[in-house]
Chain A
Amino acid sequence: MAHLFSAGKRFRVLPGFGLTLGLSLSYLGFLVLVPLAAVFLKASGLGLSGIWDLATAPRTLAALKVSFGTSLCAAFVNTVAGTTTAWVLVRYPFPGRRFLDAMVDLPFALPTAVAGLALATLYAPSGFPGSLFASGSTLGSLFPGGELKIAYAWPGIVVALVFIGLPFVVRTVQPVLEDLDREQEEAAATLGAGRLRVFTRVILPVLLPAMLTGFALAFARALGEYGSVIFIAGNRPFQTEIAPLLIVTHLEQPDYPAATALAVVMLVMAFAMMLAINLLQAWTRKRLGHP
């Protein structure tokens, strides 16, 4: 460790390198690394097969399935809606644009519990717009069973995850759109390309890496989300129970090995996502490397 973080042999003018790095590393070690190590230490006591057995228990698998399915769904919705939002915010002047631009960050600033509470109320069959899809309504009758249950069901989880993930996509795509070279679009137009072709062949390829990054960020965030979901999900085991909730349930029983095993599985996935995002960004920089 000491070797890893040693400064080069170069002479340094500014003071405080040892002090600040030491302080930061101690803090991170105390707050992040040691507790993280505790999880893996606890997990190592279970052995790989132990973790496997716990992680493949039917209820755990069901929870992982719900988490993955809803997160993928939400990240997908976010990528499409977030890119559209970014496009509209960057390209089209309309009254209230600045206000909406600021509001996009609301999910970052609003506590998840508040968001969950509000969304659960809105999308319950008694709330609006939840009532639009409730049993006996015109829209609801379009769905099998005569209603579309949003809150306390799968779609409700997706709604909550779309809420918390939206800014990730918008704020990743927006700067790329702002920096987009308008001359490239003009050049494509002079070469005879219609607007749709300009979008798909000139704009989209440049936007795609940012959209993918936004997708991955929103997905990673959705996988770990807890606060906003538990209000709206209904939390029925095997149906609307997400993986983080199952960890909490295990903790309350208390069943520490099961909680630990599931946590390790999710941590590994989170780190894999982080690695994927980093590789994606490195690849993008290389491919679109500015001259």
Chain B
Amino acid sequence: MRIEVEDLHKSFSDYPALRGVNLCVEDGELLALLGPSGSGKTTLLRVIAGLDYPERGRILFNGRDVAGVPVQKRGVGFVFQHYALFRHMRVWKNVAFGLEARPLFQRPSRAERHARAMELLDLVQLGGLGNRFPGQLSGGQRQRVALARALAIDPAALFLDEPFGALDAKVRRELRRWLRDLHDRTGHTTLFVTHDQEEALELADRVVVMRDGQIEQIGTPEEIFLRPATGFVYGFLGETNALDVQVSGGRVFHDGLEAPLLEGAARPDGPARLFVRPAEVLLEPVRETGAPASGPVARVTQVRRRLESLHLDLVLEATGASLEATIGGADPAGQPTPGDRMTVRIGECRLYDPETGSPPRVEKK
């Protein structure tokens, strides 16, 4: 099913959760809604499913406006973050619930319902657990029961809200691959919400990055990762340093530095914001020869060990701006220590407009 969303607005009391969202999901597509908490991604999913209603805008299922269609009739399978299984029903009864809820004349017999439930449990690799109660299953198993239950109504589309949010890292990675397989086999149009960048990039055909109730970028994982449209997207996809800079004739200056940070930037003159990953902050120890350094100099303030690298906090001597850098840390000799002076070179980096390039908001989950 093809889903179109036009200019969707929704607010809770005075807090705007969606501010003009436009989106088109192609039939059979696996789409990720990615963003920090509070970005409106779950609200968008709920509004499209019919669990909430939009204040403005249209939602089209295969070209048909579904504004007045209640959730019961939209025919979308919804998997909740905490599964929302019916604890007092056996697993197979949970799966068969959607069949049992059909109008009397379209309702399959009990035997048919049972058979269909068992079939779906096999599909999610839980054959044999049909007579258990949800309380007797592990988190990953419950997640798959919830999925089987949603699939039982032959949904026109499948919606998953943080499907792996409550699982531990290992189960999460397994289920991720498994969900991709399942999608490829069943071909449902699938939307899922996540705040995990890796999950979105690995699983989805296309990724929608959201922020403050608006869409920042829509694209394939490659596009999103390699060509982030805004500084926010760039920042959301990994650790980032952000510096206020001035571009002048292709040369990029950081305030207070005489030498350019960068040359040959393809940008019009004016203020900009430079984003660079810590791994692309290239360092070289300053040799105490008296000769002027070949670039801006930073002082190491802290050195922290990561698994296969060292993480350095630095302060640019000329301006006091702070920088983070990661360097290979396998070699115990020649490791920097706090107080060391380093020449900084900027490697692979990006320049954005100062306004769209403001650093990502830090939010607590």
Contact = CB atoms under 8 A, between A and B. Distances in A.
A188 B86 CA distance: 9
Contact of B49 (A181, A190, A202, A290): A190
B180 interface: no
B86 A184 contact: yes
B75 to A, nearest CB: 8
Contacts of B77: 190
Interface string B129-143: 000001100000010
Given A188-B101, A190-B49, A183 B72 contact: no
A193 B97 contact: yes
A221 B203 CA distance: 60
Contact of A184 (B49, B84, B152, B153): B84
Given A192-B101, A194-B72, A205 B88 contact: yes
Given A186-B51, A290-B135, A191 B149 contact: yes
Contacts of B89: 205
Given A288-B88, A291-B134, A191 B82 contact: no
A201 B87 CA distance: 11
A93 to B, nearest CB: 14
A202 B86 contact: yes
Nearest to A209: B88
A287 interface: yes
5 contacts: A181-B82, A181-B84, A184-B85, A187-B78, A191-B152
Interface string A189-209: 111111001000110011000
Interface string A166-179: 00000000000000
A192 B50 CA distance: 12
Contacts of A191: 97-98, 101, 149-150, 152-153
A96 interface: no
Contacts of A183: 80, 82, 84
Interface in B94-132: 97-98, 100-102
A64 B134 CA distance: 45
Interface centre among A183, A190, A201, by most B CB within 10 Å? A190
A142 to B, nearest CB: 37
The 3 A-B pairs at the shortest CB distance, nearest first, are namely: A191-B98, A183-B84, A193-B101
Contacts of A184: 84-86
B71 interface: yes
A188 B146 CA distance: 11
Contacts of B146: 187
A212 to B, nearest CB: 14
Interface residues of A, number: 22
Interface string B63-81: 0000000111111111010
Given A183-B80, A291-B135, A190 B51 contact: yes
- How many residues of B sit at the interface, in one of the four size bands? 20 to 34
Contacts of A201: 86, 97, 100
A289 interface: yes
Contacts of A192: 72-73, 75, 98, 101-102, 153
A191 B150 CA distance: 7
A187 B101 CA distance: 12
A181 B74 CA distance: 22
A61 to B, nearest CB: 41
Given A189-B51, A191-B97, A191-B152, 4 more contacts: A184-B85, A193-B101, A205-B88, A288-B87
Nearest to B149: A191
Contacts of A189: 51, 70-72
A55 B101 CA distance: 53
Contacts of A194: 72, 101
B95 to A, nearest CB: 10
A206 B88 contact: yes
A231 B150 CA distance: 59
Interface in A61-116: none
A281 to B, nearest CB: 16
Interface centre among A189, A191, A206, by most B CB within 10 Å? A191
Contacts of A181: 82, 84
B68 to A, nearest CB: 16
Nearest to B98: A191
A68 to B, nearest CB: 31
